[in-house]
Structure 1
Amino acid sequence: MNYSRLLAVLTAWALGSAHAGEVTVAVAANFAAPMQAIAAILEKTTGHKAEIVIGATGRFYAQIKNGAPFDVFLAADNETPEKIEAEGLAVPGSRFTYAKGKLVLWSANPALVDAQGQVLKTGEFRKIAMAQPKVAPYGAAAMEAITQLGLAGRLGPRLVLGESIGQTFGFISTGNAELGFVAMSQVLEGGKLKGGSMWAVPATLYQPIVQDAIVLTRGKNKPAAAALVTLLKSDRIKDLIRSYGYEL
């Protein structure tokens, strides 16, 4: 055994561990699964750890304004990070688009949602879920879609509103709502539908869901925050993000 080489490797590892840091990331619920995978890659390749907090974009905005201890914010829209930057709560020039989301109508029942979304008109369900439009961009997109389809009045009494797209997915997966609007990233794995039935809502029915990330003031000069941003912009991670149904 080459003990000199072993000692050098162990010394390098120890030095890397000593300089490894942590970044606290506020992540829109639609991006929870990709972010978990990215956090694992971040730790494996840099030693830095990501503490992930998942929620609704609108609620994160209120928390950040009130001094929540986040370093990086991955929103489900581009307007909120833009406001945060304009209000002096983030590192100027650090905002960038990391993904473009897609809205789907999904049910845990593999026979319920047809490929054209006609189930919305036939009404063969009791409850339909969506995220709260006021705080969740995917909820706003869902409301825009059903309005464009002329179904807002008909579906209104059946709506179940989740605080985030994550809670909305929970309503549907547990059967509290037979179907609902979620992010494509929540129902895909390796580019394939994990289960149930899905209709990809045509992009013409809602405004593009452009998702921006930004480094908050607390994350300035933090090596872990810089490493996460660099990773998010890498080709390796872009391919991973695409596998969840996002566009770039």
Structure 2
Amino acid sequence: MRFEHADTIWRDFPELAPAVLYAEGIRPDVSVDARVAEFSATAAGRLEGSPEGELPEIQAWRRTFGRMGLKPTQYRCASESLLRRLRKEGSLPRIHPLIDLCNAVSVAYAIPVAVFDVEHVTDFLEVRHSRGDETYLTFSGETEHPAPGEVIFADGAGRAHARRWTNRQSGLSAVRDTTRSVLVVAEALHETAARDVARLVETLAGELDAVWGAASKTAVLTPSARRFSF
């Protein structure tokens, strides 16, 4: 399988810095409570200095959403939504150990982190503009069709595994108790994005090794090295 961004994404968003991680051996019978608390505390410390909307990582995504024709305060990137919840409620949702860990790392870095169960992805994942005929499965089981031109994560079967880029993932490839193999994608566009996404996936790789004993394959993608095979 492979993961990459389309030429038009690199053309329209040259400041993009993505990092990816592939791992096997995921299981639900582990505890990540201490790690979630540690990363959440890091995020809470940043929020004491300024609200999430003023963080450079979030401001960059707000500008990007605006360039895509989306109202940034209506459609938020995933990390902003999590930071907002953490600030208002003091905690993050608990779903699955891997998702809980990735959400906590996401808020600590203020960078969106997407996790896909690769058993539910056909052939590849490509971040590209929608044609308008792709199908997207919501978490409630409804089927939607992304608008033409919308940035999506598309697979070889014409299914969208995320809508509005980093706004909302699909229920189809969401991590569940039966998940064993995952692709993790972190994307940023702020000034130090390349350095920060590299640190983020390095952090996650260390956590996956410590918690699951899982060896990870990672990469930071660039316009000249844009494909990740796994």
TM-score, normalising length: structure 2: 0.27
TM-score, normalising length: structure 1: 0.26
Structure with the higher helix share, 1 or 2:
1
| Higher relative contact order (CA closer than 8 Å, sequence separation 6+) | 2
